[in-house]
Structure 1
Amino acid sequence: MTFYAMGDIHGQLALLQGAHALIAEDRARHGMAEDTPIVHLGDLVDRGPDSCGVVDHLVQGHAAGAPWVTIKGNHDRMMERFLTDARLDDPGLRADLDWLHDKLGGSETLASYGVDVSPERSVAEIHADAQAKVPQSHTDFLRNLPLTWGAGHGWGAALCVHAGVRAGVPLVQQTEEDLVWIRKGFLDSDADFGALIVHGHTPVERATHYGNHLNLDSGAAFGGPLSVAVIAPGREVWLLDPEQGRVRLEPVDGTQT
């Protein structure tokens, strides 16, 4: 199965809408079926200016029956856990960090929902405000996001996840912690995972095909583009360019460090 996938969105609604427009143009140009899957690789929220708009756009598209798949990222999980209980720090975080820390972008996300995140407010006050202002449909959407999505069989197989997988562990036995957080033990592995792992999570200057995995996080959170790819059986990959259309992405030698 051929499908589309895009990297971490991080509250960049305009980039998300532009990515969907690129896909619509490519679908028409190449005669792709209207139900060709479009996979969003997680980290919908944080750091960017309109996480609320991003989540709402995706909620509405899914509800309307768009052929979309949205994977849960670590930032999406952090938001969901905060909304459930502000004391639930994500186990993947360092002990000195929480979702509202400047490094993570939770405050920007809540501000996009109209939550007052002034420094003088307590976490309890911010949490109560967030529960009142974040729509239940958004909370439910984040809570129910899948961790993986797969296509194809054998050499043509691809598995979409947010962060990656652990080498040496069967794909069906991967843990949630690794699927949303892993770097070491995945990026530095030259193993054949049994499928092309399509992921984001770790920003790179340009979307890169490493042969065994494809990293589509090109740093939209930090001013970079939101990369969109077409993935076909046989691990063939093309990036969508606004001016050139499909640009073949050849595998590079070596592992990602």
Structure 2
Amino acid sequence: MTKPLCVIPDIHGYRAEMDRVLSLVARHEGPDARIVFLGDYTDRGPDSRGVIQTLIDGIAAGRDWTALRGNHDQMFLNALEGTMEPERFQWWMQGNLGGRETLASYGIKSPAYEGDWREQVPGVHRQFLSSLPYTHETDQLFLCHAGISPGTPLERQVPEDLLWIRDAFLYDTRDHGKLVVHGHTPVDAPEHHGNRVALDVGAGWGRPLRAAVFEGRRCWVLTEAGRKPLEP
């Protein structure tokens, strides 16, 4: 029998919330629960480093975890690899995107674009970010960070849309072949739209992180009391 699939959306450096939700999953779904994380482990919160290390340690310990790539993870990776343009680096650092908080979690203060701060990020963290897949599929689910380009076959989706898309996907009501499960765009509470399930409830802005459980296309939000059905 296939194990239920637990899904945890955007964490954004809030390791304490991540630990709380992982404990909730272990309590209600078992310590060996199958979990997919929807990306955005970094930026805004105080402990991006701790979030990434928790994922690395869990996967290395043999936990049934799959970590997908988010747009904020991609920005961090681009900054580390020196492929982010200087202007975009300043945007990432100075705006509300959270790059400054991410680097601070590594003990990096006020870095210059051309500085040697990149050496302070463990190589295993860079390797982890560069290895993250964009999608995960089951027979009935398609999981990604932001969403898909409607009308394009799932196997032909491109990274730009999987990491960044919003309105063109969010306002499309057609069936996508599989139920698309995503984060990226914050909502007040998990939403089921029939063709997609939105799970990012704004942990990056200090709100409580939530997790969902799927059996086929059936969906529940995981609460302190256990599963609560989430329906269209």
- Shorter-chain TM-score: what band? over 0.9
Counterpart in 1 of 2:176?
193
How far, CA to CA, are the matches of 2:41 and 2:35 in structure 1?
14
How far does residue 202 in structure 1 lie from its aligned partner after superposition? 0.1
Match of 1:88 in 2: 84
SS at 1:238's partner residue? strand
State the partner residue of 1:241.
223
Corresponding residue number in structure 2 for 1:66: 63
Q: Secondary structure at the match of 1:100?
A: helix
Match of 1:255 in 2: none
After TM superposition, give the deviation of residue 6 of structure 1 in Å. 1.0
User: TM-score w.r.t. structure 2 length?
Assistant: 0.94
Report what 1:134 is aligned to: 121
1:5 is matched with 7
Find the residue that maps to 2:52 and give its secondary structure: helix
Superposition pairs for residues 7-86 of structure 1, below 5 Å? 7-28=9-30, 34=32, 36-85=33-82
Task: Give 1:20 shift.
Answer: 0.8
Structure 2 counterpart of 1:116, which letter? K
Tell me how far apart the structure 2 counterparts of residues 89 and 16 of structure 1 sit (CA, whole Å): 31
Q: Which residue of 1 aligns with 2:207?
A: 224
Stretches of structure 1 that go unaligned for 5 or more consecutive residues are 252-257
Q: Please state how far the C-alpha of 1:102 moved relative to its aligned partner.
A: 2.2
Residue 205 of structure 1: aligned partner: 188
Rg comparison, structure with higher value: 1
Alpha carbons of structure 1 residues 97 and 170: separation in structure 2 relative to 1, 3 Å: farther
Q: Residues 96, 70 of structure 1: CA spacing in aligned structure 2 closer, same or farther, 3 A cutoff?
A: closer
Alignment of 1:174-189 (within 5 A): 174-189=157-172
Give 1:227 shift. Answer: 1.1
One-letter code aligned to 2:74? R
In the TM superposition, residue 89 of structure 1 has moved relative to its aligned partner by 4.0
* CA deviations over 1:10-50 (Å, ceiling 9, x no partner): 0000111111111111124xxxx93x420100000000010
The amino acid that maps onto 1:241 is T
How many equivalent pairs are there? Answer: 230
Q: Distance in 2 between matches of 1:227 and 1:212?
A: 20
How far apart in 2 are the matches of 1:122 and 1:143? 22
SS at match of 1:49: coil
For each residue in 1:165-213, what CA deviation from the matched residue of structure 2 results, as whole angstroms up to 9, or x when unmatched?
0111000000100000000210000010001101000000111111110
Partners of 1:145 and 1:101 lie apart in 2 by 26
Q: RMSD over aligned Cα, in angstroms?
A: 1.8
Distance in 2 separating the partners of 1:101 and 1:71: 26
**Deviations 1:46-86, CA, capped at 9 Å, x for gaps:** 0001000000110111111110000000000000010000x
Structure 1 partner of 2:113: 123
Gapped regions of structure 2 (runs ≥ 5): none
* Amino-acid identity (%): 42
Structure 1 residues 231 and 171: CA distance shift in structure 2, 3 A: same
SS in 2 for 1:57: helix
Which residue number in structure 1 is paired with residue 135 of structure 2? 148
Map of 1:250 onto structure 2: 231
Amino acid of the structure 2 residue aligned with 1:236: R
